[in-house]
């Protein structure tokens, strides 16, 4: 299997940050920074580059700092599991235990009306999705940051059926409120050279709902055993929730349980974690470009193994 993994180099410094197993992609002209990686996806699709390998993907130089994986590990994982249309790496598997889904996460970190406005955008694009019925996204469907690597078939389907209809919406199609939602610079918890609105975040979240609906597309998600979940946590409160409630959340998922109890759990846990993210990043914006920023956080000396001694909340 021919696997081609790009790392997006939008600035000169990014060429020195390309990680093992990745091929640098020169995109320094960066014509539409407000679109983030979606302008790159559009270019790779328009120019036919997506057809140059059996599986191809393009991620930023923040990939390893967020996911704790390099390109060689990803390529080895893909080649060892042939036959899928798309391979997805979720850098934050803990979110499956702290938020019902990424729409709820964004309501508690970006905009309380994020889901409502996103639904209006999808409607304007003529896309038939009901975000109110998305449900819980566990680690087998949860996708953050658009870290996906697809076959030509997936590229064609996903770009034509999800990404391009949103990118092609004009200001007139959207109206003032939705256009501002997508394109007006908003407060961001990370470090970025250029500001952006909510468009990249909406489209990042579209991977999960797209795969959930398109049952004929075979997707494989990078394994997220409990040990990896702990390693990927940014904050102690995330690890505490996973340690205390992880078995219960897994039980709900394996038994397809979504009821008042699950709604209450995710409503409270998402608000708690969203507030924690906003508070910390308000004063300490994070940049994953250079290394794993978890190592520089005040509680980095704490061991994930400490949680093995906690009494887990059994179902």
> How far are the Cα atoms of 13, 79, 119, 237, 238 from residue 203, in angstroms, in the given order?
26, 27, 12, 27, 25
* Token pair belonging to 264: 């209450």
Mean pLDDT, range 201-219, rounded to an integer: 97
Q: Is residue 308 scored above 90 in pLDDT?
A: no
pLDDT, tens digit (0-9, with 9 covering 90-100), for 161-201: 999 999 999 999 999 999 999 999 887 666 666 778 999 99
The pLDDT of residue 306: 52
Position of tokens 């590990």? Answer: 73
| % the chain with pLDDT above 90 | 85
Choice among 73-82, 136-145, 154-163, 291-300 with the minimum mean pLDDT: 291-300
Round to whole Å and give the CA distance between 154 and 196: 27
Round to whole Å and give the CA distance between 57 and 54: 10
Mean pLDDT, range 240-245, rounded to an integer: 98
Sheet of 148-150, strands arranged across: 23-26, 3-9, 55-59, 148-150, 86-88, 219-221
Position of tokens 């909406």? Answer: 202
Averaged pLDDT of the chain: 93
Residue predicted with more confidence, 312 or 225 = 225
């Amino acid at each position: 299997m021919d696997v081609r993994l790009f790392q997006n180099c939008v600035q000169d410094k990014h060429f020195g940050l390309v990680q093992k197993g990745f091929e640098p992609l020169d995109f320094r002209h960066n014509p539409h920074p407000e679109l983030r990686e979606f302008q790159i996806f559009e270019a790779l699709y328009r120019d036919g580059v997506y057809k140059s390998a059996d599986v191809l993907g393009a991620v930023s130089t923040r990939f390893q700092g967020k996911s704790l994986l390099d390109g060689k590990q990803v390529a080895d994982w893909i080649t060892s599991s042939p036959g899928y249309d798309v391979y997805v790496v979720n850098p934050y598997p803990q979110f499956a235990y702290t938020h019902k889904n990424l729409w709820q996460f964004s309501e508690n970190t970006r905009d309380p009306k994020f889901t409502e406005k996103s639904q209006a955008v999808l409607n304007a694009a003529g896309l038939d999705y009901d975000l109110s019925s998305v449900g819980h996204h566990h680690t087998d469907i949860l996708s953050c940051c658009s870290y996906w690597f697809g076959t030509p078939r997936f590229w064609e389907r996903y770009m034509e059926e999800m990404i391009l209809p949103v990118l092609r919406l004009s200001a007139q199609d959207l109206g003032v409120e939705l256009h501002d939602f997508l394109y007006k610079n908003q407060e961001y918890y990370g470090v970025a050279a250029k500001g952006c609105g909510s468009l990249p975040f909406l489209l990042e979240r579209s991977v999960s709902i797209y795969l959930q609906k398109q049952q004929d597309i075979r997707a494989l998600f990078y394994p997220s055993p409990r040990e990896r979940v702990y390693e990927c946590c940014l904050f102690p409160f995330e690890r505490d929730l996973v340690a205390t409630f992880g078995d219960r959340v897994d039980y709900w998922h394996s038994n397809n349980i979504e009821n008042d109890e699950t709604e209450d759990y995710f409503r409270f846990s998402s608000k708690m974690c969203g507030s924690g993210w906003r508070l910390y990043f308000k004063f300490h914006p994070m940049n994953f470009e250079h290394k794993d920023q978890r190592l520089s956080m005040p509680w980095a000396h704490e061991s994930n193994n400490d949680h093995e001694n906690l009494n887990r909340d059994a179902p």
